[in-house]
A and B are shown apart, each in its own frame.
Chain A
Amino acid sequence: MNVLEINTVTKRFGNLVAVRDVSLTVAKGELCAIIGPNGAGKTTFFNLISGYFPPTSGKIMFDGQDITRLSTHERVSRGMARTFQITEIFPELTVFENIRIAAEVAGGYRLRPWISRAEASKIHDNVETTLKLVALEAKADRLVGELAHGDQRAAEIAMALALKPHLLLLDEPTAGMGDQETYQITQLVRRLHRNDQYSIVLIEHDMRVVFNLADRICVLDQGRMLAQGTPQQIAANESVQAAYLGNAA
Chain B
Amino acid sequence: MTAASSRKLIVLAAIWVVLLLAPYWMAPLGGYTALATRVLVLGLAAMSVNFLLGFTGVLSFGHAAWFGLGAYGAGLTLKYLALSTPLAVIAGMLLGGLCGAILGTLLVRRRGVYFAMVTIAFGQVFYYIAFQWSSLTGGDDGLRGFARQPLDFGLFKLDILSDANIFYYFVLVCFALVVGTMGFILRSPFGRTMIAIRENERRARFLGIPVERHIWIAFTLSCFFMGFAGALYALVNNFADPRGLHYSQSGDFVMMAVMGGMRSFWGPLLGAAVFVVLQDYLSSITVNWMSFVGLLFILVVLFFPRGLLGFFQRSKA
Contacts from A to B (Cβ < 8 Å): 50, 71-73, 76-77, 81-82, 84, 88-93, 97, 100-102, 104-106, 109-115, 159, 163
Residues from chain B with a CB closer than 8 A to the CB of A110 are 189-190, 193, 208-209, 214
Contact across chains for B189 and A109 when beta carbons are under 8 A apart: yes
B207: chain A residues within 8 A (beta carbon): 76, 101-102, 105, 159, 163
CB of A113 within 8 A of CB of B199, answer: no
For the complex, what is the distance from the CA of A77 to the CA of B213, rounded to whole Å? 15
Q: Would you call A114 and B184 a contact (CB within 8 A)?
A: yes
Contact of A90 among B199, B208, B217 (CB under 8 A): B199
Alpha-carbon separation in the docked complex, A106 to B207 (Å): 8
Residue B291 CB within 8 A of the other chain = no
Chain B residues within an 8 Å CB radius of A111:
189-190, 217
How close is A27's CB to chain B, nearest CB, in angstroms? 24
Give the chain B neighbours of A106 by CB distance below 8 A. 208
CB distance from B58 to the nearest CB of A (A): 16
Within the complex, which residue of A72, A101, A113 is in contact with B196, where a contact is CB–CB below 8 Å? Answer: A101
Q: Are B209 and A105 in contact (CB under 8 A)?
A: yes
A73 to B190, CA, bound (A): 16
User: Does A92 contact B190, Cβ atoms closer than 8 Å?
Assistant: no
Task: State whether the Cβ of B109 lies closer than 8 Å to any Cβ in chain A.
Answer: no
A159 and B202 alpha carbons, distance in the complex (Å): 13
Interface pair A104/B192, CB less than 8 Å apart:
yes
Known: A90-B203, A91-B199, A93-B195. A112 touches B208 (CB 8 A): no
Q: List 13 A-B contacts (CB under 8 A).
A: A71-B210, A76-B207, A84-B206, A91-B199, A100-B192, A104-B193, A105-B193, A109-B189, A110-B208, A112-B188, A115-B188, A115-B189, A159-B207
Query: Could you tell me the distance in whole angstroms from the C-beta of A142 to the nearest C-beta in chain B?
Result: 14
Bound Cα distance from A113 to B184, whole angstroms: 8
Which B residues between 178 and 225 are near A, CB-CB below 8 angstroms?
184-185, 188-193, 195-196, 199-200, 202-211, 214, 217
Chain B residues positioned under 8 Å from A109 (CB to CB): 189
Q: Which residue of B is nearest A76, CB measured?
A: B208
Least CB distance from B217 to A in Å reads 8
Cβ 8 A contact of B203, one of A73, A77, A89, A114: A89
Query: Is there an interface contact between B196 and A90, defined as CB atoms closer than 8 Å?
Result: yes
B211 cross-chain contacts in A, Cβ below 8 A: 73
Q: Which residues of B contact A101 (CB under 8 A)?
A: 192-193, 195-196, 204, 207
Nearest A residue (CB) for B203: A88
Q: In the bound complex, what is the Cα–Cα distance between A71 and B204 (angstroms)?
A: 13
Across the interface, do A105 and B203 meet the contact criterion of CB distance under 8 Å? no
Contact status of A92 and B193, CB under 8 A, knowing A106-B208, A114-B184, A163-B207: no
Q: Mark B168-183, 1 if CB is under 8 A from A, else 0.
A: 0000000000000000
Q: How far is A147 from B195 in the complex, measured between Cα atoms in Å?
A: 20
Is A104's CB under 8 angstroms from B189's CB? Answer: yes
Contact between chains at B200 and A88 (CB < 8 Å): yes
With the chains together, A101 CA to B196 CA distance in Å?
7
Complex formed: what's the CA distance from A113 to B217 in Å?
11
A114 lies within 8 A of B188 (CB): yes
Evaluate whether A113 and B192 lie within 8 angstroms (CB atoms) in the complex, with A72-B205, A105-B209 already known: no
Q: Find the B residue at minimum CB distance from A113.
A: B188
Asked if A113 and B185 make an inter-chain contact with CB atoms under 8 angstroms apart, the answer reads yes
Out of A90, A93, A112, name the residue touching B190 (CB < 8 Å): A112
Interface residues of B in 244-280 (CB under 8 A from A): none
Q: How far is the CA of A88 from the CA of B199 in the complex (A)?
A: 10
B210/A50 in contact, CB under 8 A: no
CB atoms of A50 and B206 under 8 A apart: yes
CA–CA, A89 and B190, complex, Å: 18
Interface-central residue, B204, B207, B214, B217, by most chain A CB under 10 Å: B207
Minimum CB–CB distance for B188 against chain A, Å: 5
Contact indicator B210/A112 (Cβ below 8 Å): no
Residues of B within 8 A of A73 (CB): 205, 208-211
Contacts of A163 on B, CB cut-off 8 Å? 207-208
Bound-state CA distance A163–B191 (Å) is 19
Residue of B with least CB distance to A97: B192
Q: A89-B203, A109-B189 are in contact. List 14 more A-B contacts (CB 8 A).
A: A50-B206, A73-B205, A76-B208, A90-B195, A101-B192, A101-B193, A101-B207, A102-B207, A104-B189, A105-B208, A105-B209, A110-B189, A112-B188, A113-B185
- Shortest beta-carbon distance from B192 to chain A in Å: 5
Ranked nearest first, the 9 interchain pairs of A and B with the lowest CB-CB distance are A76-B208, A90-B199, A109-B189, A88-B203, A104-B189, A73-B210, A113-B188, A112-B189, A73-B208
